Structures are given as structure tokens and as C-alpha cells.
Amino acid sequence: MNEHDSEKVAGVLLARGYRQVESVEAANVILYNTCSIREKAAQKVYSRLGEYRFTQKEGQVIGVLGCLAQQEGERIFTRAPWVSLVCGSASYRKLPQMIAELEAGNRRVTGLETDTDETFETELTRRDNPWRAYLTIIEGCDKTCSYCVVPFTRGPERSRASASILEEVRQLADVGYTEVTLLGQTVNSYADPSARRMRFSELLVAVAEVAGIRRVRFTTSHPRDFGKDIVEAIEAVPGICEHVHLPVQSGSTRILKAMARTYTREEYIEKIELVRASKRLISLTSDLIVGFPGETEKDFEETLSLLDLAQYDGAFSFKYSPRPNTPSLKLGDAIPEEEKARRLAILNEKQREIQRLRNEGLAGQVFEVMVEGKSKRERQWSGHTSSNKVMNFTSRVEESLGDYVQVRVTGATPNSLVGDVVGE
């Protein structure tokens, strides 16, 4: 999401005549996009801003964008007075105007409103990859997970009209994109604001049907709004990728309740059974938090047993990090840092083993892979399967980046597959 925000911001500035440069030293304007999801990410921002202070040239504008900008607001000017622009993601539409104000001699500008119901729509996005495009369909988040800053930093949910999304997908296809990833903090909570009232699963199908589009991905799905219709869409339309990212956060109903995740362990299991029962081999990935306040050894063991049950193809796991403004900040029973680290290590080790076995079980199968990279080694290439697994493969011929090839799996690691191009 943040990477794509940077692409949108770069696009807007390029359209105003700015030019992208290769290094911080060569820049007249530095816009630093930030994350504040966990404390560590937020700390990094101030240390990086500290470095910019010493390299700042006369007249060089330093701006801070993203969630930390939203969270800290004008405090950034106090802690880092060499910064002259602070703007959260809900206000990016105002960026050109803000930059114009700085050009006109204004010393400090801010964009910190989150109550806008407009989305940051722009055809001016400067995408980094010529084949795979990100596309935001819903911004903000209306869920109120008790540990999470996103509802504060990205504002309320705002969906883009389906016709406008489809128009952009057609334009992307026209210029050669074959893969699009629909983005949203809770992408499947998409609510078409237009009279068409297209459901999320219908939108997936419509995007996949655009001529030239070969792959449609979507992330992140919230379990509450995840229904059978999404699995049915994946089954019916080969272009919708066989991958669902469905964060569980914890395997304990008690902790899920304290997190305000709005589902129980059992309800979550019902959702993943929908995915696992599919005729297509849909890969399933998750996010997990260990050491939430009050998490007992028993709660943690329930998370471990959920891993056994879910058999995730991948998982991002984090130590709970207390964040400003969030309800869980007031909870007692903090788990000591060393205990969080211990639980995280156990969880990661277990998940690694699950992935190793799952990936090894794919030996002999053939998957379609988009050619995305060439290795330094002779005849070695890499790309992703529809199920979003990394495939490192051998091909005798010179492949073209962006092409699709059939690859047979010959080996596996916990995080990738190894294979050979079929039919040579």
C-alpha cells in the first residue's frame, strides 16, 4: 500500500514537471514516505530524518508523508525543524497545492485531514513495474482492531466507483500490464459507491475479464467480510489468482475478542475451510501477532495449534507493539519483551516447517509463472506462480521478462520453489 502511495505521489509530481533523480544528494525535494504500524518503523523515521539534517542543501525541501506524518502531525516540525511539509495519506490530493505553496515561499505546510470522503484518484501514477500494477480500490479502515493505528492514520473507509476502477484497468491493459493487484486495508470490505453497487467478488470477475489482463490479485482480506462468493469467483475465473491473504492475528478466541477482531477461532476456521475445500489449490497466507497484553501460554498454544490446522503457505508474524491512540494501550498485563521474542521464535520455526513440507509436497506439479527476474547465474530465472509463490527456475532459452511460462517443480525451500521450464 505504501509503495503504491509513493508511485501515486511520484506520478503527480512528474506531471507537474518535476524530474526523478537517483540520489538524495541530487534532489531539491525529498518526500519521505513512512509507516507507523509498529514502534520500530516509527523510530526509523526520526533517525533517518536526523541524517537528512546534516546533508540538507540550501533550499532543499524535506517532507514527511504517510502514517507517521498523520500520527505525529506538527510535532514533526518541533522534533525535526528542518522538515517543511507533513502530509498524511488521506490528504495526498492536496500535495500539488502544498508544494506550490512551498515554491511560493511558504515555510511550512501540512495536510492532516482524514475526514475526506474522496479517494486519491489519479491517472498520473508512475508505476515501478511494467507488467504488474497496484490499484487501490478502497482506502482507510472502519474496523477497530484494538492494537491498530491504521484507522487513525488512514481515516475511514472510502471505496472507488467500480466504473472508474474498470476504466483504469482497461488503460493499464492497453499499455501492456497483464497483472493487477487490487489494494485495500480490508479490500473485501469494498462497497461500490455508484448506483451499480458491484459486489467485491463481481468486481474481481469484471477486472479479470478485461482483455489483456491475465492475473488479478487482491490484498488484504478481512475474515469478517470473507464469503463463499469470493472462493466461487476464484474457482470460476482462472485469471483470479489462487491466493487469499486472510490474517487471523491470534488462534485464541479470548485474545481475538480483546483485539476486537469480530470473529472467534471457530468462525475463522469456517472461513479457511471454504478456501481449502475449493477445487483450485488456493494458497492461504496470514498475519499473526504474539504477546498481545494478557496473552497466556495457553492462548499462545492455541495460535500454534491453529497453524497446524490452517497449514498456511506463508505468514507474517509480529511481536505486539503498543501504538498511540489505540484502545489496547490501556490494557494491563503487558508481556515482557523477552517472552514476546521467545514466542515469536517458536511460531516462526513452526511455520517454517509447515511451509517446507507444503512446498516439498508440490514436487512434480506444473505451475504457470510470470518471468520477473534473471539471475546472475546462467539460464536461471525467477517469478511468481498464481498462488504467489516465488519460483526460481532454469530455462535453456532466453526468456523475456513479463512473459508467462510453464514450470515443473523439482525442489523446494520454506520460502520458494525450484523448477524447470516445461517442454524444452
Residue choice 225, 287, 360, 403 for contact with ligand 5AD (CB under 6 A): 287
* CA–CA gap between residue 72 and residue 152 (Å, rounded): 11
* 358 backbone φψ class: left, alpha, beta (φ>0; ψ -120 to 50): alpha
Does residue 261 interact with ligand 5AD by CB under 6 A? no
Output 222 or 271, the one with its CB closest to ligand SF4: 222
Task: List, as one string, the DSSP characters of 189-223.
Answer: G----STT---HHHHHHHHHTSTT--EEEEE---G
Output 185 or 328, the one with its CB closest to ligand SF4: 185
Residue choice 201, 321, 351, 387 for contact with ligand 5AD (CB under 6 A): 321
Does residue 185 interact with ligand SF4 by CB under 6 A? yes
Residue of 113, 119, 166, 85 lying closest to 8 (CA atoms)? 119
* CA–CA gap between residue 4 and residue 371 (Å, rounded): 21
| Contact partner, 218, from ligand SF4, ligand 5AD, none, Cβ < 5-8 Å per class | none
| Contact partner, 71, from ligand 5AD, ligand SF4, none, Cβ < 5-8 Å per class | none
| Contact partner, 143, from ligand SF4, ligand 5AD, none, Cβ < 5-8 Å per class | ligand SF4
Output 293 or 419, the one with its CB closest to ligand SF4: 293
Output 129 or 146, the one with its CB closest to ligand 5AD: 146
Please list every residue from 88 through 147 that binds ligand SF4, using CB under 6 A. 141, 143, 145
The partner residues of 318 in beta bridges, in order of sequence, read: 289
Rounded to a whole number of angstroms, the distance between the first and last alpha carbons of the chain is: 39
For the bound state, the minimum distance from the C-beta of residue 86 to ligand 5AD, rounded and expressed in Å, comes to 22
For the bound state, the minimum distance from the C-beta of residue 219 to ligand SF4, rounded and expressed in Å, comes to 11
Q: Which long-range contacts (CB under 8 A, 24 or more apart) does 384-387 make?
A: 385/417, 386/215, 386/241, 386/242, 386/243, 387/241, 387/242, 387/243, 387/281, 387/282, 387/283, 387/313
| Contact partner, 350, from ligand 5AD, ligand SF4, none, Cβ < 5-8 Å per class | none
Q: What is the DSSP secondary structure assignment for residue 377, as one 8-state letter?
A: S
The helix or strand, by DSSP H or E, that contains position 256, with its residue range, turns out to be helix 253-258
For the bound state, the minimum distance from the C-beta of residue 286 to ligand 5AD, rounded and expressed in Å, comes to 9
Give the interface size with ligand 5AD as a residue count (CB under 6 A): 12
Does residue 246 interact with ligand 5AD by CB under 6 A? no
Residue choice 36, 249, 285, 387 for contact with ligand 5AD (CB under 6 A): 249
* CA–CA gap between residue 149 and residue 424 (Å, rounded): 51
Does residue 85 interact with ligand SF4 by CB under 6 A? no
Does residue 326 interact with ligand SF4 by CB under 6 A? no
Give the interface size with ligand SF4 as a residue count (CB under 6 A): 9
The partner residues of 74 in beta bridges, in order of sequence, read: none
Task: Quote the radius of gyration of the chain (alpha carbons, Å).
Answer: 22
* CA–CA gap between residue 244 and residue 235 (Å, rounded): 13
For the bound state, the minimum distance from the C-beta of residue 81 to ligand 5AD, rounded and expressed in Å, comes to 29
For binding to ligand 5AD (CB under 6 A), which residues are involved?
37-38, 147-148, 247, 249, 287, 289, 318, 320-321, 323
For binding to ligand SF4 (CB under 6 A), which residues are involved?
141, 143, 145, 148, 150-151, 185-186, 222
